[in-house]
Amino acid sequence: MKLHPSARALRGKLRVPGDKSISHRAVFLGALSKGVTEVSGFLYGADCLATIDCFRRLGVRIEDARRKTDGAQVLQIEGKGIFALDTPFGELNAGNSGTTARLLTGILAAQAFTSIVTGDASLCSRPMKRVTEPLSQMGAVMESVNGNDCCPLRIHGTRLHAADLRLPVASAQVKSALLFAALYADAPTTVRETLPSRDHTERMLKHFGADLVIQDEPAVSPCAKSIRLTPGALLRAQKIHVPADLSSAAFLMAAAVLVPESEVLFREVGINPTRTGFLHVLEAYGADTEMSNIRDTTEPYADILVRSSKLVCPEGRLVIEGEIIPTLIDELPVIAVLAAFAEGETVIKQAGELRVKESDRISLLVRNLREMGADVEETMDGMVIRGGTTLHGAHIKTHGDHRIAMGFAVAALAAEGDTVLEDDACIAVSYPDFFKDLALLS
């Protein structure tokens, strides 16, 4: 795809697609509960569709419907309960979705059958030991078919035991897999984390009726907490409203900041505190944003107004590190783009997790930013970006990574000259209508 610099300001109101993380978990919990769960605002992106396909193969009936009261489209999930999943016919293919693959391990480890979880070439190169190793402490029996600690994984269902587990990395996916496994354990299981990670699974488990207790552990670290799940509680179907995905909105918010005279109102954006690091970075750069109409159901959400702004690092240098990293890990590609336009130096540290996403995002971001003329230096766990220079169009390699593709689509709007974006189709993983919505705003 060839992209041109934006000739017009971005203006209007927009609700970006539903939150990907919450959409995944709504299917998981709906499938394991009793009754029919209705999900409005569901994200029909490739990753979440992979989750639906896997649970259909496990015997769960999932279909689209129209709500009788207001005619809104809802996803209906006819739950089977935690012990009634069917033996799947063939492999469970998670596609490009690490969330699907990793969360499934916690459930499949306790079933009365053997299953295989696989995915595309990208997913089958991503590490799974971080989830299989702690699950093995609960008695799980699983093996990497190719012996490389990656998918395909062969999972032999067995009886799981209670455990006291400390997360090896700050990962909502690993935490969620362990909590799902805890539903099947023979006694209460405790999962401990030192740094915060997305808490959508904990919120939704409690909403569906799980016996879950969360406690802070200030003696360990200011952000540490323990999550204790006692098995045996009946999960009951719920009505779930999925707010708009902040991770998707972040790319168009960045576009609104960079394109002169822009003003866009983003509606019903999820503002879960474990996800709002991107908004804090915008504030640190001095971006003109305003939050209103705050609401809260299972998840908090609000309307966010974003206007074009001159970005400046506070006192000439902005360091992004520590506990904020897990709250903006998916937005770091577009933050790196913003940093290239901001006056001053931006340092991103302790973001080594970016190297094991859909691509090695650190090296790919650095390479592509340099192609556009940015002054950027790669480090082991991040990068240093000296911003304020004018970027120019370039040939951008995405390696099939949707967030890299969206990030450099935004950069192209504010650069001089045309940009060629390889494999723009990968954006359908999380935001199928990205370019359509961008065109509507311009």
Strand, helix or coil for residue 236:
strand
CA distance 387 to 45: 33
Annotated active-site residue in 330, 401, 424, 437: 330
DSSP state of 311: -
The position carrying tokens 């299989």 is 132
Q: What's the token pair of residue 429?
A: 């993983």
Round to whole Å and give the CA distance between 393 and 306: 25
For helices 332-341 and 246-258, the axis angle rounded to 10 degrees is: 10
Residue 381 near residue 404, CB atoms below 8 Å? no
User: Read out DSSP for 106-129?
Assistant: HHHTTSSSEEEEE--TTGGGS--H
Residues 6+ apart with CB under 8 A from 135: 105, 106, 109, 142, 177, 178, 181
196 token code pair: 């915060």
CA distance to 19, 30, 200, 272, 421, per residue, from 22 (Å): 5, 12, 6, 11, 29
Pairing of strands 382-387, 343-348: antiparallel
Tokens 């640190």, residue?
Answer: 284
- Is residue 330 annotated as part of the catalytic site, yes or no? yes
Is the four-CA dihedral 219, 225, 230, 231 of positive or negative sign?
Answer: negative
What 3-state class would DSSP assign to 389?
coil
CA–CA distances in Å: residue 217 to residues 198, 214, 222: 17, 10, 7
| Sheet of 11-14, strand order | 11-14, 263-270, 300-307, 288-296
Residue bearing tokens 């999943």: 85
Which residue spans within 167-262 are E strands per DSSP? 189-193, 211-216, 225-230, 239-241
Inter-CA distances, 317 with 42, 285, 287, Å: 39, 10, 16
Rounded to 10 degrees, the C-alpha dihedral 370/383/434/72 comes to: 180
Which of 57, 29, 35, 62 minimizes the C-alpha distance to 180? 29
Catalytic site positions: 330
